[in-house]
Amino acid sequence: MSKQVAGIAASKGIAIARPYLLNTPDLSYEEKEITETDVELERFDQAIEKSKTDLESIQKKVKNTDEAKIFDAHLLLLEDPELISAITLKISEEKLSAEAAVDEVMQSYISMFESMDDEYLKERAADIKDITQRIMSHLLNKLLPDLSLIKEEVIIVAKDLTPSETAQLDVRYVKGFITDIGGRTSHSAIMARTMGIPAIVGTSNASEIIRQDDMIILDGSRGEVLLNPESSVLEDYQTKLRNELSRKELLKQYVNASTQTKDNVKVNLFANIGSPLDLEAVVNNGAEGIGLYRTEFLYMESKQAPTEDEQYEAYKKVLETMGDRPVTVRTLDIGGDKELPYLTLPDEMNPFLGLRAVRYTLKETALFRIQLRALLRASIYGNLKIMFPMISTFEEFYAAKQLLLEEKTNLRNEGIQVSDAIEIGIMVETPSVIMMADQFAKEVDFFSIGTNDLVQYTFACDRMNENVSYLYQAHHPAIFKMIEQVIEAAHREGKQVSVCGELASDATAQMVLVGMGIDSLSVSASSILESRAFINERSKADLEKIAVMVKACREEKEVVEQLNKYID
């Protein structure tokens, strides 16, 4: 049996190659008494300038990609007055060496981010470590490895891979990477998905176990690394890799294709995004629109709530990039598992059943109005649809819509243009809305079913609680029946229905959803082509029969067993 290392499946795909063991130089330093603070301040200034030059040249290499933006953030941090003055004060008042001052201040920032509950914010500590490493390398005159010089096929193995290191990777040679630390939302993981190379992070010890002469199989979908596999295993994986590459090549023909079944029933295939940074992948994969823009990431990225102008710029960018294609923006969905350090959310026994999403924004109307104004102002740049999350009653829908209409009037009174064609819809995530779908269908312009939440509210099981995860049954007939009820109610009123939860990306579920007559599916950008190929290879008439069969099942496991028979 070949030796195995396991970690978090950060980016899918298979890679087979020898390792490139990344050794970051030892950046430890000796504590010393400082007499000439001017000299230290000058050394610090120079290290900052050299770091900026490095980053600008890395940024040029990744020009016009999502990664370039990461380095904007790094450059901004190098100019952050609060940070710079904290370090210079340590040097001039506490008489610390430049190394010790940088280390102390940066470590306090790193600990602050690492202690945050939110996974996304927690991962931002990696960006600060990246910058710290760069400044320290200049102070200590130790060169950081230049990964852009790699010119043979390798898999990078590292304790950690910083965003700037990841940006240097040339995917013609670097077939994948494995790191000891990091999570699915760390920048290097996000970048691997964008670059389309497999990656496994958070293995805790890969860099200690893997040796220079090992042959590695990296299985990014399973989060597994096989070392020195037996020849039969190696051959199996070589075949898998060949199939994967030809599948990727084949899928390219679907980039500009429309999504429709063999018997010509159109399905809109939209993408879910969290930021304008995701747009490149959306466009490259030929998404027909944005089905869900989770705006809370805009709020999570800054130290305080983004201003109306900042939000307007982000929405405008997304709308302009998508042109005529629809862009469905969801208003702030905070609360539940998503917190914001600068907002005071109440301490609740059951946050998922508490003040979250539209319930919160209807309470904090000043915050809500800012977002609505930014959206309305941006509306003239494209095909905007606005939807409210976690609606459970008509009162909530009317109240949210009322605020939107008020802000529209206010803007027009201020002489600011607003589109007349904005559709207003709701997320369907609560059973109460499903039971009232026939009535809601008369009032809303569209429905978007959020199955991630719908499943937890249907089975009364917290989506984050492992003790009851067995009840989190997204493929249960109850869920599909609820979805069908919404589709029928909407279609009777000539309205459209989309599914934007994770279920929409699942091939088995896609058969049932399309069979039931769903109008749109909104999936991650990297699932677009697979989904399009899958739907285009099937006929609606066959899928309708599958949908009928699913409704006759009593349990999820029966559904899954039946559906798997149709997947090769």
Residues within the interface to Mg ion (CB under 5 A): 450, 453
Residues 6+ apart with CB under 8 A from 232: none
Contact segment (CB under 6 A) with ligand PEP among 230-238, 436-444, 449-457, 537-545 equals 449-457
CB burial of residue 336 (10 Å; 0-12, 13-18, 19+):
buried
Closest separation in Å from C-beta 517 to ligand PEP: 20
Q: How many residues bind ligand PEP (CB under 6 A)?
A: 10
Q: How many CB atoms lie within 10 A of CB 236?
A: 13
Distance CA 129, CA 109 (A): 9
Closest separation in Å from C-beta 483 to Mg ion: 15
Residues 6+ apart with CB under 8 A from 106: 128, 129, 131, 132, 135
CB burial of residue 37 (10 Å; 0-12, 13-18, 19+):
middle
Q: CA 313 → CA 309, 319, 375, 378, 408, distances in Å?
A: 6, 10, 10, 8, 18
* Closer residue to ligand PEP, CB minimum distance, 241 or 478: 478
Contact segment (CB under 6 A) with ligand PEP among 6-14, 220-228, 450-458, 529-537 equals 450-458
Closest separation in Å from C-beta 352 to Mg ion: 10
Pick the catalytic residue: 74, 138, 476, 500? 500
**Phi, psi dihedrals of residue 463, rounded to the nearest 5°:** -70, -10
- Look up 187 and say whether it is catalytic: yes
Q: Which does 501 bind (CB under 5 to 8 A by kind): ligand PEP, Mg ion, none?
A: ligand PEP
Distance CA 529, CA 269 (A): 9
Closest separation in Å from C-beta 61 to ligand PEP: 33
Q: Are 197 and 26 in contact (CB under 8 A)?
A: no
* Binding residues for ligand PEP restricted to 123-152, rule: CB under 6 A: none
Distance CA 357, CA 335 (A): 6
Is 294 near ligand PEP (CB under 6 A)?
yes
E-strand stretches of 142-236: 154-158, 174-179, 199-201, 216-219, 224-227
* Closer residue to ligand PEP, CB minimum distance, 155 or 298: 298
Q: Which two tokens stand for residue 294?
A: 């989770």
In this chain, which of 450, 477, 515, 517 binds ligand PEP, going by CB under 6 A?
Answer: 450
Distance CA 509, CA 500 (A): 12
Closest CA to 387 of 481, 484, 295: 295
Closest separation in Å from C-beta 448 to ligand PEP: 8
Contact segment (CB under 6 A) with ligand PEP among 51-59, 380-388, 404-412, 447-455 equals 447-455
Pick the catalytic residue: 138, 187, 475, 476? 187
* Closer residue to ligand PEP, CB minimum distance, 276 or 291: 291
Closest separation in Å from C-beta 451 to ligand PEP: 5
* Closer residue to Mg ion, CB minimum distance, 13 or 450: 450
* Closer residue to Mg ion, CB minimum distance, 454 or 512: 454
* Closer residue to ligand PEP, CB minimum distance, 66 or 453: 453
Q: Which does 451 bind (CB under 5 to 8 A by kind): Mg ion, ligand PEP, none?
A: ligand PEP
Is 276 near ligand PEP (CB under 6 A)?
no
* Closer residue to ligand PEP, CB minimum distance, 229 or 335: 335
Is 155 near ligand PEP (CB under 6 A)?
no
* Closer residue to Mg ion, CB minimum distance, 229 or 501: 501
* Binding residues for ligand PEP restricted to 314-333, rule: CB under 6 A: 333
In this chain, which of 306, 501, 515, 517 binds ligand PEP, going by CB under 6 A?
Answer: 501
Residues 6+ apart with CB under 8 A from 304: 342
Q: Which two tokens stand for residue 194?
A: 């964008």
Q: Which does 294 bind (CB under 5 to 8 A by kind): Mg ion, ligand PEP, none?
A: ligand PEP
**Phi, psi dihedrals of residue 139, rounded to the nearest 5°:** -65, -35
- Look up 500 and say whether it is catalytic: yes
In this chain, which of 51, 285, 451, 527 binds ligand PEP, going by CB under 6 A?
Answer: 451
Closest separation in Å from C-beta 330 to ligand PEP: 8
Distance CA 141, CA 155 (A): 28
Distance CA 269, CA 531 (A): 8
Is 429 near ligand PEP (CB under 6 A)?
yes
Q: Which does 474 bind (CB under 5 to 8 A by kind): Mg ion, ligand PEP, none?
A: none
Distance CA 349, CA 492 (A): 40
Distance CA 85, CA 78 (A): 11
Query: Which residues of this protein are in contact with ligand PEP, per CB under 6 A?
Result: 292, 294, 333, 429, 450-453, 500-501
Q: What are the residue numbers of the active site? A: 187, 500
